[in-house]
């Protein structure tokens, strides 16, 4: 009955996220970054509730990447057109690696993994787990918040996301603050103590974890060498 909850071992997921983020930040050739983006997107799609969820978030943030690319192109002394592909690809890689982390790991297994494998202080790993829980719940409710704001006549067309960004931020921050307060009360009521809590079954490392990690590291090293 007791089993592992994380689709990807939290430590592996964290390392994969770091590898993807480093590659996205360091690599200047979009062709080299492409395999990392593909691996992370495939891994995130495999662990998300539905594969389309990852594509949906990546596509939502893609315009920001395109905007950054256009801005960088205009400001670059070399007028390098590859910036128009590189920056959207960086945003895509960072988004999908964040989703791999958010949906692939159980926050409490992550907390345990951080404190037992990586020697994080217990309070810090618990704080990361609580933030992870709140952020995932906020992502889940975001569609409903956007729908309610659109019903109030805000965020009705793409440009209104610029003028209505303040309203959206206020709604999101209000939701985050309320959740954080309720969650901290509920955890205290359940007797959660970061220094005493431990999962009923230790985490196991599976073949799929090692496979993901080796593919990520290989792709990352290839990017560095090339």
- Which residue ranges make up the site for other proteins (CB under 8 A)? 1-2, 5, 49-50, 106-108, 133, 137, 140-141, 143-145, 147-154, 156, 167, 170-171, 174-175, 178-179, 182-183, 185-193, 196-201
Is residue 65 within 8 Å of 71, Cβ to Cβ? no
What is the DSSP secondary structure assignment for residue 153, as one 8-state letter?
Answer: T
| Distance (Å, whole) CA 20 – CA 41 | 11
Cβ at position 83, least distance to other proteins in Å: 36
Cβ at position 170, least distance to other proteins in Å: 5
Residue closer to other proteins, measured from CB, 76 or 163: 163
Please give the distance of CA 216 from its chain centroid, rounded to a whole number: 16
Residue closer to other proteins, measured from CB, 185 or 222: 185
Cβ at position 127, least distance to other proteins in Å: 14
Cβ at position 39, least distance to other proteins in Å: 24
Q: What are phi and psi of 82, to 5 degrees?
A: -65, -15
Residue closer to other proteins, measured from CB, 64 or 148: 148
| Distance (Å, whole) CA 155 – CA 163 | 8
Residue closer to other proteins, measured from CB, 189 or 226: 189
Sign of the dihedral defined by the CA atoms of residues 110, 115, 116, 117, in that order: positive
| Distance (Å, whole) CA 64 – CA 95 | 11
Instruction: Give ∠ CA 174-10-139 in degrees, rounded to 5.
Output: 25
Cβ at position 144, least distance to other proteins in Å: 5
Residue closer to other proteins, measured from CB, 29 or 178: 178
Is residue 99 within 8 Å of 57, Cβ to Cβ? yes
């Amino acid at each position: 009955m007791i089993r592992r909850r994380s689709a990807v071992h939290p430590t592996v997921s964290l390392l994969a996220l770091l590898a993807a983020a480093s590659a996205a930040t360091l690599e200047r050739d979009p062709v080299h970054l492409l395999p990392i983006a593909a691996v992370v997107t495939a891994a995130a799609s495999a662990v998300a509730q539905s594969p389309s969820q990852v594509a949906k978030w990546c596509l939502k943030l893609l315009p920001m990447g395109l905007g950054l690319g256009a801005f960088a192109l205009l400001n670059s002394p070399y007028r390098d057109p590859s910036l128009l592909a590189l920056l959207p690809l960086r945003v895509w890689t960072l988004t999908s690696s964040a989703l791999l982390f958010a949906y692939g790991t159980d926050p409490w297994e992550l907390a345990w993994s951080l404190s037992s494998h990586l020697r994080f202080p217990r309070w810090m790993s618990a704080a990361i787990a609580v933030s992870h829980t709140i952020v995932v719940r906020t992502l889940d409710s975001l569609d409903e918040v956007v729908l309610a704001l659109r019903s109030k006549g805000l965020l009705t067309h793409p440009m209104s996301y610029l003028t209505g960004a303040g309203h959206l931020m206020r709604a999101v921050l209000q939701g985050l603050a309320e959740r954080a307060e309720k969650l901290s009360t509920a955890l205290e009521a359940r007797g959660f103590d970061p220094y005493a809590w431990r999962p009923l079954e230790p985490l196991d490392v599976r073949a799929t974890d090692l496979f993901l990690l080796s593919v990520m590291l290989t792709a990352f090293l290839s990017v560095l060498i090339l």
